[in-house]
Amino acid sequence: MGCCNKLCGLKVGIGAGIAVAILGIILIPVGNNIIRETVTKESVIEPGTTAWENWVSADAPVYRQFWLFDVQNPLDVVENGSKPKLVEKGPYTYKTRYLPKENITANPETYTISFLLPAGAIFEPSMSVGSEEDSVTSLNLAVAGGYKLFPPWVLEAAIKLNNVSLFQRRTVREILWGYKDPILKGTLGLFFPYNGTYDGPYSVFTGKDDISKVSIIDIDGESGPGKNKEPCLLKALFFNVFRSVSAEYERSLNLKGIEVYRFKLPPLTLASPAVNPDNQCFCTDSVVTKNCTLAGVLDISSSRGQPVYISLPHFLHGSPYLVEDVEGLGPSEEHHVTFLDVEPTTGFSLRFAKRLQVNMMYGPSKIITVLKKVKDYTILPIVWLNETASLDDETADRFKKELLSRVDMLETVQYTLIGLGSAAFVLCTVAHCLISRNNNKLV
């Protein structure tokens, strides 16, 4: 009787072990669904969600670092048509994007939300190599701009009247944020105006109806060119405010104890129109772009009103002759590529680096004295920037506590149940076999 009770108990233990293990296995898809639903709910951009708090505020400041190219041989370029010799000076660092979004308006009928981005830049001496008053010899913006905008004889007269040349000596602050230009009789600067202005309005999807669209720009809700210009508009938005374009997965990384996926801007983004037809809208000058075969730069002159070309720093992923036309450049995948680190469970961007270069073009002229010795069209780097942001330690701890700890706890419960159930099944099965064998021997 005693043996019978033991065998019955062990059978119950075997069944319970199987049941507990099965429960643990069942919890895997069930738990994943629970986590997915929780993440989806918290990722929607609407009041009360984690995504809303992070989206509206500017807890993690964005820093924009500038490296300016100092021309070492300006007279040699003008008088002998020599290649410009460049020396990189920087970084000069500013805190930007530290202000919360404004004029936030929900559009429930389209599942979008519109807003304005306040623009501001605060110089950070401790993160810079010098002061804003450091001087740099750079391309004269008015002369380079006038080369395309004005008739040659008009520009020649303006150059002589104001006693200027192809290059000028200006401070870092003047080149970046503006100075009174003698030719144009107004304020001119690469990023003028900036402080006190706004980017936008922008409209992004909240993810309420489709979480895969969260934070993606609604082009129909944007002010801008017609639909036939949408590919150009998408990239122009990216270069202004780090908008979404195609990115390719590179590898998995650990960021403050959080697994993130690294995505990088692929070379195809800046490929020539012959390779990437989406870039055809940036080919506005067949001579400068060598019949639209030039890779690595995008002509945004139509949107800037000046012959401005955007590229990756040091012409990374660009045509070889872009680097060969000047001296002092050294493209580096590590230092000059744009990347985005995304947490795979939530899709939140936890770190990014937007690295871009601003260039201007000048070329030969039979009328303009300072350009008579120039042999060919040259796209000259003026400055490259690295705009970065990353979650801080406090945000990382909160993120891990509010989401990842739940995932870890659920996984612990799952594997514990599977382990306990499996152990109970094995032990009870072995014990049942031993007792049954002994009973058989006694018989």
Q: What is the mean pLDDT of residues 138-161?
A: 92
Question: What pLDDT does 160 receive?
Answer: 95
Q: Which span out of 27-36, 186-195, 302-311, 419-428 was modeled with the highest average pLDDT?
A: 186-195
Q: What is the mean pLDDT of residues 427-435?
A: 60
For residue 310, pLDDT over 70 is answered with yes
pLDDT digits (tens, 9 = 90+) for 184-203: 888 999 988 888 888 778 88
For residue 259, pLDDT over 80 is answered with yes
Helix, strand or coil for residue 3? Answer: helix
249: which 2 tokens? Answer: 């997965």
For residue 298, pLDDT over 90 is answered with no
User: Helix-strand-coil percent breakdown of the chain, rounded to 5?
Assistant: 40, 25, 30
For residue 161, pLDDT over 90 is answered with yes
For residue 58, pLDDT over 80 is answered with no
Q: How many CA atoms lie within 13 A of 26 on its CB side?
A: 7
Q: Which residue has the tokens 């690469």?
A: 190
pLDDT digits (tens, 9 = 90+) for 208-242: 887 767 776 665 644 333 333 333 333 433 444 33
Q: What is the mean pLDDT of residues 390-405?
A: 73
Q: What is the mean pLDDT of residues 140-165?
A: 92
Question: What pLDDT does 136 receive?
Answer: 97
CA–CA dist 141, 180 (Å, integer): 12
Q: What is the mean pLDDT of residues 393-417?
A: 65
Higher pLDDT, 335 or 293: 335
Question: What pLDDT does 357 receive?
Answer: 94
Question: What pLDDT does 226 receive?
Answer: 31
Q: What is the mean pLDDT of residues 101-107?
A: 89
Q: What is the mean pLDDT of residues 296-319?
A: 80
- Chain-wide mean pLDDT for the chain? 78
Q: How many secondary structure helices (H) and strands (E) does the chain include?
A: 12, 17
Question: Which residue pairs from 257-261 have beta carbons closer than 8 angstroms and sit at least 24 positions apart in sequence?
Answer: 257/396, 257/400, 258/343, 258/350, 258/396, 258/399, 258/400, 258/404, 259/343, 259/344, 260/341, 260/342, 260/343, 260/344, 260/350, 260/351, 261/341, 261/342, 261/343, 261/344
Question: Which residue pairs from 263-268 have beta carbons closer than 8 angstroms and sit at least 24 positions apart in sequence?
Answer: 263/339, 263/340, 263/341, 263/342, 264/337, 264/338, 264/339, 264/340, 265/312, 265/337, 265/338, 265/339, 267/317
Gyration radius of the chain's alpha carbons:
31
**Domain segments of the chain as ranges:** 23-56+394-442, 60-390
